[in-house]
Amino acid sequence: MAAGKEFMVYNSMTRQKETFRPIEPGKVSMYVCGITAYDLSHLGHARAAVNFDVLFRYLKHLGYEVTYVRNFTDVDDKIIMRANKNGEDPFSLSSRFCKEYLNDMGDLQCLLPTHQPYVSEHIEHIKDLITQIINKEYAYLVGGDVFFAVDKFPNYGQLSGQKLEHNRAGERVAVDSRKRNPADFALWKSAKPGEPSWESPWGPGRPGWHIECSAMSAHYLTFKFDIHGGGIDLIFPHHENEVAQSCAACQESSVSYWMHNGHVTNNNEKMSKSLNNFFTIREITEKYHPLALRHFLISAHYRSPLNYTISQLESSSDAIYYVYQTLQDCEDALAPLLEEGLKEGADQNGKIVKITLTAQECISKLKNEFESKMCDDLNTAQILTGAFQDALKFINSSLNGLKKKQQKQKQLSMVQSLIDVKKAVTDDVLDVLGLKSSHTYSEVLQQLKAKALERAGMVENDVLKKIEERKRARENKDFAMSDQIRADLTRKGIALMDVGKETIWRPCVREEPIKEEEKQLPTEEEQKVLPVEQKEEQKQLSSEEEHNALPVEKELAVSTWPNTQVQNGFKNLSFNNKDKIKGKVNSTRIDFLVIKMKTNEKGLKTLSFNDKDKIKGKVNSTRIDFLV
Ligand SMILES: [Zn+2]
């Protein structure tokens, strides 16, 4: 264990931080719920993947041999519905989106888990597990369906704190008369026409959602393993049901630590598919470097909600640029000296070179701070400030010092100090956080610049022309003009810097356009008006048995739309969360307005216009100006 500190993790089961002690010394077994592959993955998926990747990397950094399993759900209602709609085979659809997910994961520098099982490849294990549960009388058969009987499992609700009394039939959950308790959930679903199915002792069918994770974690990690992770949304019912299934099949079954990451929010409202206020990873990485996105994702503690704003991404992008520029400058300054024959750690005569006292302090502070924050339930939010910034400052100021003439021995000591501090920054911090790119520093800087140009709507030549214009203005002593050119570029996220007689540029945090653009995202493409069938698809999903425990209010949020009223010269248009909205009121995106609006007790949101408002857009497939 590094620096003799204990690794503390928050355990959702006991609701407290606990010292991490693996079942088998030196080894860690970890299972994290993966995606249901029917669409491009969004920011919530990115957050879970990046957080558990940081955990995976940190455990390895602590010296553990880690077996990390993350599944792909490739058999599921959502996949089947989407595939039917596309007229596509469900497995071809899911394999396409699994590949897209892996591309996103590669961009975000998430290491590959040890195993990435697909549900469809583990049907036999799933059937075996269901058989064990039936044999132990925790499940019952109705027609070709197999249900888990929650009443048989007294600890049901232990993880989520949900009480069974809250799920009484007809009150808060949908009624399915075939179930003994409305909270019972399907382990096996009988085959329906047009759906993939497998033979089983209970007739042809396919697994329910929850059973796959119990079966695959047991298969790869046995019934006793160290860490089970996932997004906070999964605590209930998914993880609660997993606990029930696994314990029913094997009494000794246990997960030592349940870890859950928080939501991603947008305008402080939960980002979700149903609210249609989510962003895909791809949309963001088209505009921002994936390292900037990763930096943003770890800039909050993993259990806190993380509010997505463009300003935050801009800051993260800027922070990454600064880190890589510092490392590049350091490499540039050291390269000729190392070429001169300086060997790391020793001078030409083989004499050991000592690093400066300041460098020693800088390194020990950096390492101590890193370990103590990471040991405290992965407090990544506080790592990229403090000692980390001090180390970057040390590199930059030493680079300036290096340019001055000085004694050979002193210079050697400074060079060695730079080598060691840089190594601590890259290998001890950036690598463990997954922020160390496999590309060279200069490649990353170029990529960051290319993204900045795209955001500014420019190509590099435009910037160079502006630099020339500014140079001429300065020569003509037209300083108002030269300031204006510089200020205009800064607003667009392009900073000009005069270095000697030369002017260079680098990306910077954009100013004014951000506010406007936050309203603009998600992109037009993302906000495509979805066909009515898809609305139906969502309606059906909310009544799926997995979502039984949803409060009735949510189930009722099926609209009375179109619903327009005229009141005091204003026209009021109501939407619910499932309406697909695209368009503008004056210059503001309607979906942005709707997301910000207050919701009434029926889940309806109301938007008001007057005759002077310029309205253009669609709700579902109906023109909105036509409606009002
Ligand atoms: Zn799962």
Query: Do 237 and 100 sit in the same domain of this protein?
Result: yes
Asked which of 413-427, 532-546, 586-600 is least confident by mean pLDDT, the reply is 532-546
Q: Give 174 Cα–ligand 1 centroid separation in angstroms.
A: 23
In this prediction, residue 342 carries a pLDDT of: 64
Of 452, 457, 463, 464, nearest to 493 (Cα)? 452
Domain annotation covers residue 419: yes
Q: Which residues of 244-282 are buried (b: 16+ CB within 10 A; e: fewer)?
A: bbbbbbbeebebbbbbbbbbbbbeeeebbeeebbbbbbb
Q: Report the amino acid identity of residue 258.
A: W
Q: Give 160 Cα–ligand 1 centroid separation in angstroms.
A: 15
C-alpha torsion sign, points 437, 440, 445, 448: negative
- The number of distinct structural domains making up the chain is 4
- Helices marked H in 428-511: 431-433, 441-456, 460-475, 479-491
Q: Report the amino acid identity of residue 73.
A: T
Q: Give 131 Cα–ligand 1 centroid separation in angstroms.
A: 20
Percent of the chain with pLDDT over 70: 81
In this prediction, residue 543 carries a pLDDT of: 32
Cis peptide before 113 (omega within 30 of 0): no
Distance CA 534, CA 554 (A): 18
Are the CB atoms for 32 and 177 separated by under 8 Å? no
For the cut 70, the answer to whether the pLDDT of residue 485 exceeds it is yes
Query: Do 589 and 479 sit in the same domain of this protein?
Result: no
Query: Do 265 and 414 sit in the same domain of this protein?
Result: no
Q: Where does residue 610 rank: exposed (0-12), middle (13-18), buried (19+ CB within 10 A)?
A: exposed
The average pLDDT across 533-560 equals: 33
Q: Give 434 Cα–ligand 1 centroid separation in angstroms.
A: 24
In this prediction, residue 358 carries a pLDDT of: 96
Query: Do 96 and 16 sit in the same domain of this protein?
Result: yes
In this prediction, residue 558 carries a pLDDT of: 27
Distance CA 594, CA 457 (A): 28
Q: Which residues contact 559 (CB under 8 A, 6 or more apart)?
A: 574, 575, 576, 578, 579, 604
In this prediction, residue 540 carries a pLDDT of: 38
Domain annotation covers residue 416: yes
Domain annotation covers residue 269: yes
Domain annotation covers residue 182: no
The residues with which 36 forms a beta bridge, in sequence order, are: 73
How confident is residue 103, by pLDDT bands cut at 50, 70 and 90?
very high
**Assigned token pair, 99:** 């590949």
Q: Give 123 Cα–ligand 1 centroid separation in angstroms.
A: 15
Q: Give 229 Cα–ligand 1 centroid separation in angstroms.
A: 9
C-alpha torsion sign, points 8, 10, 16, 18: negative
Of 434, 494, 443, nearest to 324 (Cα)? 443
Q: Give 214 Cα–ligand 1 centroid separation in angstroms.
A: 8
Q: Give 105 Cα–ligand 1 centroid separation in angstroms.
A: 18
Percent of the chain with pLDDT over 90: 69
The chain-wide mean pLDDT, for the chain, equals 86
Domain annotation covers residue 294: no
Query: Do 233 and 340 sit in the same domain of this protein?
Result: no
CATH (domain of 249):
3.40.50.620
Domain annotation covers residue 449: no
Domain annotation covers residue 188: no
In this prediction, residue 532 carries a pLDDT of: 37
Q: Give 34 Cα–ligand 1 centroid separation in angstroms.
A: 7
Domain end point (choices 416, 443, 470): 443
Q: Give 238 Cα–ligand 1 centroid separation in angstroms.
A: 6
Q: Give 36 Cα–ligand 1 centroid separation in angstroms.
A: 10
Q: Give 558 Cα–ligand 1 centroid separation in angstroms.
A: 28
Are the CB atoms for 236 and 549 separated by under 8 Å? yes
Find the domain containing 353 and state its range.
308-443
Q: Give 212 Cα–ligand 1 centroid separation in angstroms.
A: 7
Query: Do 390 and 282 sit in the same domain of this protein?
Result: no
Query: Do 421 and 322 sit in the same domain of this protein?
Result: yes
Q: Give 32 Cα–ligand 1 centroid separation in angstroms.
A: 7
Q: Give 518 Cα–ligand 1 centroid separation in angstroms.
A: 33
Query: Do 99 and 78 sit in the same domain of this protein?
Result: yes
Q: Give 362 Cα–ligand 1 centroid separation in angstroms.
A: 43
* DSSP letters for 526-553: TT-PPPHHHHHHHHHHHTSGGGTTS-HH
Q: Give 276 Cα–ligand 1 centroid separation in angstroms.
A: 23
Q: Give 545 Cα–ligand 1 centroid separation in angstroms.
A: 16
**Assigned token pair, 475:** 């020569």
Domain end point (choices 443, 476, 501): 443
Are the CB atoms for 95 and 74 separated by under 8 Å? yes
Order of strands, sheet of 269-270, starting from the edge strand that comes earlier in the sequence? 269-270, 264-266, 306-308
Query: Do 319 and 415 sit in the same domain of this protein?
Result: yes
Query: Do 552 and 594 sit in the same domain of this protein?
Result: yes
In this prediction, residue 533 carries a pLDDT of: 38
User: pLDDT, tens digit, for every residue of 40-58?
Assistant: 999 999 999 999 999 999 9
CA distance to 215, 270, 395, per residue, from 117 (Å): 11, 29, 44
In this prediction, residue 305 carries a pLDDT of: 93
Query: Do 332 and 437 sit in the same domain of this protein?
Result: yes
Of 483, 489, 493, nearest to 514 (Cα)? 493
User: pLDDT, tens digit, for every residue of 77-97?
Assistant: 999 999 999 999 999 999 999
For the cut 60, the answer to whether the pLDDT of residue 542 exceeds it is no
Query: Do 377 and 506 sit in the same domain of this protein?
Result: no
For the cut 80, the answer to whether the pLDDT of residue 36 exceeds it is yes
Domain annotation covers residue 450: no
Please write down the HEC assignment for all residues of 386-426: HHHHHHHHHHHHHHHHHHCCCCHHHHHHHHHHHHHHHHHHH
Domain end point (choices 386, 418, 443): 443
Q: Which residues of 129-164 are buried (b: 16+ CB within 10 A; e: fewer)?
A: bbbbbbeeebbbebebbbbbbbebbeebbebbebee
